[in-house]
Amino acid sequence: MMRTRPLKVALLGCGVVGSEVTRIMTTHADDLAARIGAPVELAGIAVRRPDKVREGVPAHLVTTDATALVKRGDIDVVIEVIGGIEPARTLITTVFEHGASVVSANKALVAADGAALHAAAEANGADLYYEAAVAGAIPLVRPLRESLAGDKVNRVLGIVNGTTNFILDKMDSTGAGYSEALDEATALGYAEADPTADVEGFDAAAKAAILAGIAFHTRVTIDDVHREGLTEVTAADIASAKRMGCTVKLLAICERAADGASVTARVHPAMIPLTHPLASVREAYNAVFVEAEAAGQLMFYGPGAGGAPTASAVLGDLVAVCRNKLAGATGPGESAYTRLPVSPMGAVVTRYHISLDVADKPGVLAQVATIFAEHGVSIDTVRQSGKDGEASLVIVTHRAADAALSSTVGALRELDTVRGVASIMRVEGE
C-alpha cells in the first residue's frame, strides 16, 4: 500500500541539470511515486539568480537562501547539482546534520572530500549517493559498489569525458589539428568557453579518483591521480597511431598492482588498438571497461553528460534514497577497508610510443638503442625515415616502468645526434 504523505525534496541548483530534474519530477510524478512507494514533492529550489527565466520551474519554490532551505525540518532528501567545492560542501554537511539524505552530481567535491562526506552521512544515519558524478546516464557507481561487491575488480579503463573524446575523434576522422577540433567542439556546445577542466584532464581525474576508490575499496582523492591533458596531442600523433592500427583516446586508468599491495590511478592520452572496444567510442560518448576476477570483462557505454542524461542518473539515485527512507535504512556507504596505498606514476608499467628527431647519419640508431638498453627499456619495433641530414625515429617499447622510460628520455636528450623528442605516448589496452 502506498504511503500518502509525500517525501519532500529540496533542489540546490537549477541550471541545465537542475531544470531537467524539475521537469522529470513534475511530468513523471505518478511513476516515481509508484516506484518509490510514496509520492515525492519538490519543496524548494535554491538558486543564485532568482530573476532568470526557467521554463517549467514553479516560481513559488525558488529561493536564494540555500542554507535556510536545507535546515528545514521537513526535508527528506536534498539534490545537489550546483557543483564546485563551496558552498556545496558546507550545505551538504548541514543537510546531514539535519537528518536528510543527499543525492549529488558533484564529482569535484566527492573526489576531493568523499571520505569526510561519507563519515558525516553515516554519523547522522543518512545516505550519500552520487551516480551522476561519474559518467552521466551510464550506470557505473552502483554496479561497482553493489553488483560487483562480491567480486575483485582489478582494472577500470575508460573514456569519461565527452568533450575530449569528441576532439580526439574529430582529429582522427578528419585529420584536423587540436585547435580546429576544439573550435568545432565549442561551436556545437560540447566544450565550455573555458575548456581547461576538460582538455587538461581535471574532470576525468576527479572521476578516476571516485572509480578507483569504489573499485578497490580504498581511499583515493583527486590529488592521488596522475593527470595529463590532450593539448599536446598533434595530428602527427594521430597519424602515427593509425599506422600502428591504433587510435588515441584520453583514458582514465585505475589498476590494482599485480601483487595486490597497491593501486594506481591516472589520466592521460594513450594509443589503444582498433580491436579494443573503447576504440569504437565516437563523438561525445563515454565508455568504461571493467576487468573483474570472476565477472571477467564488462563494458558500460552511453552519454556521459548533458541535462537529460545526468538528470536520469540523479533521479535513479533519488528513487533508491527514498526507498531507503521508507524502509528506515541506508544504502552502502564508504568501503575503504583495504587501505591500499596509491603508487606514484613512476611505478606504472606500460608500453610507450616515442618519436625522436635525429641526425641522419650512420650509428645514430645504435646510440639510441644503447641508451634504451642501459636504462632497462626493451625496444619492440623501430621505424626510421629521413633525408637531407635529418631523420625521424619512431620507437615502440615493450612494457616498462614510467620511471625507467623517463630516465631513458632524459639520457636521449643529452645525445648530440638527437635533435629533439617530438612526442611520447603510452600504449594501452593490449
Three-state DSSP class for residue 207: helix
End-to-end CA distance of the chain: 53
Phi-psi region of 358 (alpha: psi -120 to 50; beta: other; left: phi over 0): beta
Residue 270's nearest CA partner among 424, 403, 407 is 424
Residue 93 burial class via C-beta count within 10 angstroms: exposed 0-12, middle 13-18, buried 19 and up: middle
The stretches of 37-131 forming alpha helices (DSSP H) are 66-70, 88-97, 107-123
CA distance 305 to 203: 12
The stretches of 328-415 forming alpha helices (DSSP H) are 364-374, 402-412
Q: Which residues contact 8 (CB under 8 A, 6 or more apart)?
A: 40, 41, 43, 74, 75, 76, 77
CA distance 395 to 353: 6
Amino acid identity, position 5 = R
CA distance 251 to 205: 10
Three-state DSSP class for residue 250: strand
To which residue does cell 623528442 refer?
421
CA distance 189 to 124: 40
Catalytic residue among 8, 107, 207, 249, which?
Answer: 207
CA distance 163 to 199: 8
Cβ 17 vs Cβ 307: under 8 Å: yes
CA distance 340 to 263: 7
Three-state DSSP class for residue 12: strand
| Phi, psi dihedrals of residue 59, rounded to the nearest 5° | -60, -30
Q: Does residue 207 carry a catalytic annotation?
A: yes
Q: Measured between alpha carbons, how far is residue 208 from residues 213, 313, 346 in Å?
A: 8, 18, 18
Cβ 230 vs Cβ 199: under 8 Å: yes
Amino acid identity, position 192 = E
Positions annotated as catalytic residues are 207
